[in-house]
Amino acid sequence: MQSLTPDKTARVLGAGALRPLTAAPVLTVSAPPFAHAGSSVRSLMLTSIAALAPAAIMAAVAYGLPAVRVMALCGATAIITETLCERLMGRQSSADDYHCLYVGLVLAFLLPAAAPWWLAVMGAASSIVLGKMIFGGLGGSPLSPALVGWAVCRLSWPEAMDAEFSMLASELISPLHHLKFFGPEAVDGITSVQLLLGRQLGGLGASQLWAVSAGGLLLLALGRVRWEIPLAFLTGLVATTGIYWLSDPASHASPLFHLLAGSAIFVAFFAATDEPSSPSRVLPMLLFGLLAGALTAVIRIYGIYPDGAPFAVLLANLFTPMLARIRPKPFGAR
């Protein structure tokens, strides 16, 4: 890129050429072809889907066909819905960039394995229509699309979204559900190792915690997501629940319990890092993550829902435009 002053521009264009209207430097760019960064939406989405693969395999092993059914329904519905929306809008289909498939899979990991087929279909369709296409498609969503679909299902069909209610045949319990309604004594016997190994009811992402954690670390290692939001999210959750726990250990669970129970780790790596709905610079990303983590703790302690992580990220998404105004820098500045 080369900049020319007004006088130099006039000399280049000739004496009779029109002069610029302002005294600001004129910017010109070189002719194409331009250098490519080497990444595309498709490659980024394939990397994210590959990071979900260990948890998907473990969910299929643990729950069998019901888990496979939920993932297949969410993924297929998301692809079909986006294709239909783009056809109605007169656009060329972009389903082959796999973003809609990734949105559907993230939603599936927030649903219990026993979720009815219509719940998975409604959730995935809501994610694409209300969370993505209504804002113009990829890049325009102010909210994480998968969490929009989850919120629609959670508010509209709470019993179907309750893993403990829909999986009565299981011997496992939902630790956050017991903490919310029966107090810390009800979860005294649950160890951190049990939680890490997924011995808990919840969405597929909560019940396959170690595999989800491995996938999240893979995303960090490959540079698919930056460390600021996941680390700040988990720090905000641990710090806030730690304050409550230190102030009254008899009434609140430990920070480690809140970290390992529910969908906090899955949401930190796979939902809170949604690029269009989250900040893109270091300080705003750290504040965004801390806010979402603290809100997760507050919702768990005071709210009516046992696991507030998805709701917390949706609320934090609303602060993204304000956070993006903190110490902005022009494109390319260091």
**Residue 271 falls within a domain, yes or no?**
yes
**Residue 13 falls within a domain, yes or no?**
no
**Residue 78 falls within a domain, yes or no?**
yes
- The pLDDT score that the predictor gives to residue 171 is 72
Whole-angstrom Cα distance, residue 232 to residue 193?
23
268 CB-near residues (< 8 Å, 6+ apart)? 216, 229, 230, 233, 234, 289, 293, 309
**Residue 74 falls within a domain, yes or no?**
yes
Helix 175-182 to helix 282-302 angle, to the nearest 10 degrees?
50
CATH number at residue 72: 1.10.3430
Evaluated on CA atoms 143, 75, 114, 216, the torsion sign reads negative
Total domains, the chain: 1
Q: Locate 42 and state its tokens.
A: 């498709």
**Residue 31 falls within a domain, yes or no?**
no
Q: Count CB atoms within 10 A of the CB of residue 288.
A: 27
Whole-angstrom Cα distance, residue 330 to residue 170?
54
Q: Among candidates 64, 66, 152, 51, which has minimal Cα distance to 115? A: 66
> Taking a C-beta distance cutoff of 8 angstroms, is the pair 85, 129 a contact?
yes
- The pLDDT score that the predictor gives to residue 194 is 85
Stretches where the chain sits below pLDDT 70 are 1-38, 164-170, 329-334
- The predicted-structure confidence for 118-131, as pLDDT tens digits, reads as follows 999 999 999 999 99
Whole-angstrom Cα distance, residue 1 to residue 219?
33
Whole-angstrom Cα distance, residue 50 to residue 30?
37
- The pLDDT score that the predictor gives to residue 208 is 81
- The pLDDT score that the predictor gives to residue 185 is 86
- The pLDDT score that the predictor gives to residue 121 is 96
> Taking a C-beta distance cutoff of 8 angstroms, is the pair 20, 26 a contact?
yes
Report DSSP state, residue 27. E
- The pLDDT score that the predictor gives to residue 331 is 62
Taking the model in full, what pTM does it have?
Answer: 0.84
**Residues facing residue 2 across a β-bridge:** 28
Domain limits for position 312: 41-325
**Residue 279 falls within a domain, yes or no?**
yes
Whole-angstrom Cα distance, residue 101 to residue 255?
34
**Residue 104 falls within a domain, yes or no?**
yes
163-179 in b/e burial notation, b at 16+ Cβ within 10 A? bbebbeebebbbbbbbb
- The pLDDT score that the predictor gives to residue 30 is 64
**Residue 173 falls within a domain, yes or no?**
yes
- The pLDDT score that the predictor gives to residue 13 is 47
CA-based radius of gyration for the chain? 23
Give a three-class secondary structure readout of 58-78: HHHHHHCHHHHHHHHHHHHHH
- The pLDDT score that the predictor gives to residue 200 is 83
> Taking a C-beta distance cutoff of 8 angstroms, is the pair 208, 262 a contact?
no
DSSP state letters, 122-133: HHHHHHHHHHTG
